[in-house]
Amino acid sequence: MHHQTIAELVTGLRNKAFSSTELTQHYLARILTLDSQFNSYITISEEQALADAKKADERLAKGNAGDLCGIPIAHKDLFCTKGIRTSCASKMLDNFIPPYSATIVENCANAGAVTLGKTNMDEFAMGSSNESSFYGPTKNPWNTDCVPGGSSGGSAAAVAAQLAVAATGSDTGGSIRQPASFCGLTGLKPSYGRVSRWGMVAYASSLDQAGPITHTAEDAAIMMNTMASFDSKDSTSVNKSVPDYTKTLNDSLNGLRIGIPDEYFQEGLDQEVATLIQAALAEYKKLGATLHSVSLPHTHLAVPAYYVIAPAEASTNLSRFDGVRYGHRCDNPRDVIDLYKRSREQGFGEEVKHRILIGTYALSVGYYDAYYRKAQQVRRLIKQDFIEAFKSVDVIAGPVTPTPAFSLGAKTKDPVSMYLEDIYTLPTNLAGLCGISIPCGMSGNKPVGLQLTGHYFDEARLLNVAHQFQQHTDHHTKTAPVNSLTKPLILSNT
Amino acid sequence: MEWETVIGLEVHVQLATKSKIFSGASTRFGAEPNTQACAIDLAMPGTLPVANEKAFRYAVMFGLATHAEIGQRSVFERKNYFYPDLPKGYQTTQLDEPIVGPGSVEIVLDDGTTKSIRIHHAHLEEDAGKSLHEDFHGMSGIDLNRAGTPLIEIVSEPDMSNAQEAVAYAKKLHSIVTSLGICDGEMSQGSMRFDVNISVRMKGEEALGTRTETKNLNSFKFMEEAIALEVERQIDILEAGGVITQETRLYNGDTKTARSMRSKEDANDYRYFPCPDLLPVILDDDYIDSIRAQLPELPDARQQRFISEYQLSEYDAAILSDNTQTAIFFEQAVVICQDAKLTANWIMGELSARLNAEEKNITDSPISPEQLANLIERIKDNTISSKMAKEVFNALWQREDKYGSVDAIIKAKGLKQVSDSSALEAMVDEVIANNEAQINNYRNATPDKRPKMLGYFVGQIMKASKGQANPKIINEILLKKLNQLINNT
């Protein structure tokens, strides 16, 4: 059952080949026996999952169930789940059980989806390797010596290892697309405002956007049909009707204009990755698309701009974690300053502290103009670049990352090289556009992704363009070599 | 040396919206601690603010009432600092693009002249919670019911030159915001709080002196006292050759003392930046015009109307129009009794005195406008004397009659005034007959002394009638009879 996509499972559930309860039990058993190799889950919500499945089976029996009904998925651990710990992979929230659910969690629950658990991530979504988690790093199911990418690395690893059929993620600078790429999956970052941010613990509010990580574009379309909504509880949510993303998946690509930014194929790009991207573009030509060179001249400024804006927002978003009302509190504070200092000192990990410091600095009197204001100006230029490019093309294609998945520990000592991981994905967030990563081949035993960037609220087209590629290639059907003979989680003699 | 004081005010006005500025929690005052703080007010992870449209509407109303430019683009910023009663670690406020731009209000000075006080701007922001330092055994309690209550902070130019002007300005703002209905005006509940910036300089000097800010004064009286104290302190320092330190000060109304809270060197870097969770709000002309069209009558306009419509004196009109509730009370009573002057006198006299004595607002008056009007009607038709009216007023105030009927009280107390001339003439005759010596004195007195002597006879008659004789009519009859007596001899 775990080899199937959402689309296939929907048929199985409808045909009563299996029930949601059976499916859920199957996934739970896989998680319990296999995840010790990957550490992709922080919390397994077994009870909740089985209760969800039972309800889904009732709905399925009544015949009034939607596509996601009975489908076992996982949520990144920064989406608040009522009654289930939501840790953001931080010691700070190790004890935090929200009394409310994120809108996307609620949307999925209302559709009948089953919540298997909460996936690992970089602490507060700050990272590109999933190594900054308080609960330990997640490993890439394709090669457990490698990182799965981040920050939604747990979601990507869980789906790649078939420990969930799909998972939610969040993307602030590439946190869905990069792990999807590293794990051979499809990952969509919707346009800013398409998916509600309510209940998603904020990292950088003006950049954060939730999206799905799945095996196929078709599954991503099914997930988006449920995840996307206008939400009056999120002031940045855009009141725009949500199309049925599955309807246009089979539209012809004849005449599709694909833009190729020169700036994405320069120094730093791995040769093998470049070759796979070129091959994917050739495939698109066969499907009737035309390729056009475009210029995004401010691309080189995206990393510095992002690493001012995101930490600036993060530095104040994370001020609420002060040990006063919830979350980690130090023992025996002497006074309120001591309470703040030690609670935050103990509760936050290195990378989080690093970014709080950068952000605090960038917003300080005397530096604001040089850093924050300047970065906002750069952001407008980057946005302008895309708007200009989209005048002549329908989508923009390029690599997701300069290299395939790197080894665990390879970049932890060198934050700048880690930050450069995001060079091709950051501009999409800074501009607020939508982007998707789809598998386009292997570099050795490591998957490589193709990135497609779409115009504002053009997710339907991105999914169509991705789906058509997957109809004519099989990169997305390859699965990670998960050793199913691993010892089950039965425990040592005590 | 002659010193000159320069005062500027920052006034925090709590807006009378039902829910908070960025959440749906209630803003009602006086609830159990933390019962009116929802997940957003508690800054739970993942929660987001949504701006309350009513708060914008109220701020625009204030702007229009003070002839201000309305900021068509309004941006919220985060003001970052750590404090236990500030759950998010930042206050959402406005800085560069506030909702209300430069405006002004007129105040009346003691000598009757008016002065215009310029308003630099007014911005929307959220209130913080409260830290409670008592009853927690060396710890502090946090009540977040107030966190997120909408405020407008009204920042004046340094246009006031003494405490009286500052108080007049503050009272004027109070009158405007309560007339607009955008604030309940309850000073004791913190609905209006004042920060006073004070500096002194030598008369004739151009440059401003170093200023201090005395924060969080919550009554006109404390503000007046705090200003007087601070001006004196600054002048003392300067005259002794010292310099003023720029600092924030706290005034204690109980001990009548002030102390330094922090100096400029300790000031926070608030790291303001635009709040990414709230998009800029654009107010279009239609929106502003629609608010302008519904703007209620303002105190200045109302005063003019009271003068022309009710022929009140400027003074009476000013007092009655200043507070919307007083104005409403006045007009409701006048509609019934048709006597503006008497109504004005009763409201400004007996009613105000009683309300003040019991620290009540006119909205809490035990006597309704209708009852007061009925009382005035009975005075006008001579059923009762003014003196009796006070007794009836007392009975109404004490709610002696459960139906609160003026006529019922008059009847129950047997207060009916005797105005029947034949009955009164008999009483006058009796008093004249029984007071031969006084009559002789009266007769022998020079005419200019006589009016004063009349009081004795009136008093005798009132006594004989147990206070029920109509003194006005008695006066007439008595004069007539005494004149006859004198002329006949």
Pull the structure tokens for residue A478: 């390859």
CA B289 to chain centre: 29
Task: Check CB contact under 8 Å for B277 and A202.
Answer: yes
| Whether B44 contacts chain A with CB within 8 A | yes
Question: A368 contacts in B (CB within 8 Å)?
Answer: 271, 273
pLDDT confidence of residue A308: 97
Kindly state the percentage of chain A with pLDDT values over 90. 93
Report the relative pairing of strands B114-126 and B3-14 from DSSP bridges.
unpaired
pLDDT confidence of residue B488: 72
Tell me the pLDDT tens digit for each residue of A224-244.
Answer: 999 999 999 999 999 999 999
Q: How many CB atoms lie within 10 A of CB A333?
A: 15
Per-residue pLDDT, averaged over B107-131, amounts to 93
pLDDT confidence of residue B437: 84
Q: Is B156 exposed, middle or buried (0-12, 13-18, 19+ CB in 10 A)?
A: buried
**Which one of B80, B89, B277 has the shortest CB-CB distance to A205?**
B277
Tell me the pLDDT tens digit for each residue of A341-364.
Answer: 999 999 999 999 999 999 999 999
Tell me the pLDDT tens digit for each residue of B164-206.
Answer: 999 999 999 999 999 999 999 999 999 999 999 999 999 989 9
pLDDT bucket at B350, cuts 50 / 70 / 90: very high
Question: For the ranges A147-156, B221-230, B434-443, which has the lowest average pLDDT?
Answer: B434-443
B183 vs B480, residue with greater confidence: B183
The b-or-e profile of B397-422 (16+ CB within 10 A means b, else e) is beeebeebebeebbeeeebebbbeee
Tell me the pLDDT tens digit for each residue of B234-270.
Answer: 999 999 999 999 999 999 999 999 999 887 766 779 9
Q: Is B69 exposed, middle or buried (0-12, 13-18, 19+ CB in 10 A)?
A: exposed
| Whether A326 contacts chain B with CB within 8 A | yes
Tell me the pLDDT tens digit for each residue of A8-56.
Answer: 999 999 999 999 999 999 999 999 999 999 999 999 999 999 999 999 9
Question: A205 contacts in B (CB within 8 Å)?
Answer: 276-277
Question: For the ranges A472-476, B143-147, B264-268, B317-321, which has the lowest average pLDDT?
Answer: B264-268
CA B182 to chain A, closest CA, distance in angstroms equals: 24
pLDDT confidence of residue B262: 82
**Which one of B88, B269, B277 has the shortest CB-CB distance to A320?**
B88
SS3 assignment for chain A: CCCCCHHHHHHHHHCCCCCHHHHHHHHHHHHHHHHHHCCCEEEECHHHHHHHHHHHHHHHHHCCCCCCCCCEEEEECCECECCECCCCCCHHHCCCCCCCCCHHHHHHHHCCCEEEEEECCCHHHCCCCCCCCCCCCCCECCECCECCCCCCHHHHHHHHCCCCCEEEEEECCCCCHHHHHHCCCEEEECCCCCCCCCCECCCCCCCCEEEEEECCHHHHHHHHHHHCCCCCCCCCCCCCCCCCCCCCCCCCCCCCEEEEEHHHHCCCCCHHHHHHHHHHHHHHHHCCCEEEEECCCCHHHHHHHHHHHHHHHHHHHHHHCCCCCCCCCCCCCCCHHHHHHHHHHHHCCHHHHHHHHHHHHHHCCCCCHHHHHHHHHHHHHHHHHHHHHCCCCCEEEEECCCCCCCECCCCCCCHHHHHHCCCCCHHHHHHCCEEEEEEEEEECCEEEEEEEEECCCCHHHHHHHHHHHHHHCCHHHCCCCCCCCCCCCCCCCC
Asked if B172 and B159 touch (Cβ cutoff 8 Å), the reply is no
Tell me the pLDDT tens digit for each residue of A273-296.
Answer: 999 999 999 999 999 999 999 999
CA A97 to chain centre: 22
Task: Check CB contact under 8 Å for A236 and B277.
Answer: yes
Domain boundaries, chain A: 6-262+389-477
| Whether A306 contacts chain B with CB within 8 A | no
Pull the structure tokens for residue A261: 């930014």
- Residue A487 pLDDT exceeds 80: no
- Residue A299 pLDDT exceeds 60: yes
Per-residue pLDDT, averaged over B107-133, amounts to 93
pLDDT bucket at A494, cuts 50 / 70 / 90: very low
pLDDT bucket at B489, cuts 50 / 70 / 90: low
Tell me the pLDDT tens digit for each residue of A405-414.
Answer: 999 999 888 8
Tell me the pLDDT tens digit for each residue of A166-204.
Answer: 999 999 999 999 999 999 999 999 999 999 999 999 999
pLDDT confidence of residue A492: 40
pLDDT bucket at A488, cuts 50 / 70 / 90: very low
Q: What is the ipTM of this complex?
A: 0.95
Backbone Cα Rg of chain B: 30
Kindly state the percentage of chain A with pLDDT values over 70. 98
- Residue B226 pLDDT exceeds 50: yes
For helices B450-464 and B436-444, what crossing angle results, to 10°? 160
pLDDT confidence of residue A289: 98
Catalytic residues of A: 76, 151, 175
Closest CA to A432 of A461, A469, A463, A459: A459
**Which one of B43, B269, B278 has the shortest CB-CB distance to A320?**
B43
Question: For the ranges A420-429, B34-43, B394-403, which has the lowest average pLDDT?
Answer: B394-403
Torsion, CA B103, CA B105, CA B109, CA B113, rounded to 10: 90
**Which one of B39, B44, B80 has the shortest CB-CB distance to A319?**
B80
Tell me the pLDDT tens digit for each residue of B396-417.
Answer: 998 877 767 888 888 888 777 7
Question: B82 contacts in A (CB within 8 Å)?
Answer: 319, 322, 340
Per-residue pLDDT, averaged over A106-122, amounts to 98
Average pLDDT, chain B: 91
Distance of alpha carbon A180 from alpha carbon A400, whole angstroms = 9
Q: Is the peptide bond before A151 cis (omega within 30 degrees of 0)?
A: yes
CA B318 to chain A, closest CA, distance in angstroms equals: 45
pLDDT confidence of residue B281: 94
Phi, psi of B104 (to 5 degrees): -165, 160
Q: Give Cβ neighbours of residue A78 (< 8 Å, ≥ 6 apart).
A: A86, A88, A121, A124, A125, A170, A200, A201, A203, B46
Domains of chain B, CATH where assigned: 3-287 (no CATH), 297-412 (no CATH), 421-488 (1.10.10.410)
Kindly state the percentage of chain B with pLDDT values over 70. 99
- Residue B425 pLDDT exceeds 90: no
A488 vs B17, residue with greater confidence: B17
- Cβ-Cβ contacts under 8 Å between A and B: the total is 99
Q: Give Cβ neighbours of residue A118 (< 8 Å, ≥ 6 apart).
A: A41, A42, A43, A45, A74, A75, A76, A77, A79, A81, A84, A85, A86, A87
Report the relative pairing of strands B141-143 and B257-263 from DSSP bridges.
unpaired
Per-residue pLDDT, averaged over B367-376, amounts to 94
Distance of alpha carbon B337 from alpha carbon B116, whole angstroms = 38
Asked if A475 and A224 touch (Cβ cutoff 8 Å), the reply is no
- Residue A490 pLDDT exceeds 60: no
Task: Check CB contact under 8 Å for B51 and A235.
Answer: yes
Distance of alpha carbon B213 from alpha carbon B351, whole angstroms = 38
Which CATH fold would you assign to the domain A6-262+389-477? Amidase signature (AS) enzymes (3.90.1300)
Closest CA to A232 of A207, A198, A201: A198
Question: For the ranges A168-177, B315-324, B344-353, B461-470, which has the lowest average pLDDT?
Answer: B461-470
Task: Check CB contact under 8 Å for A204 and B43.
Answer: no
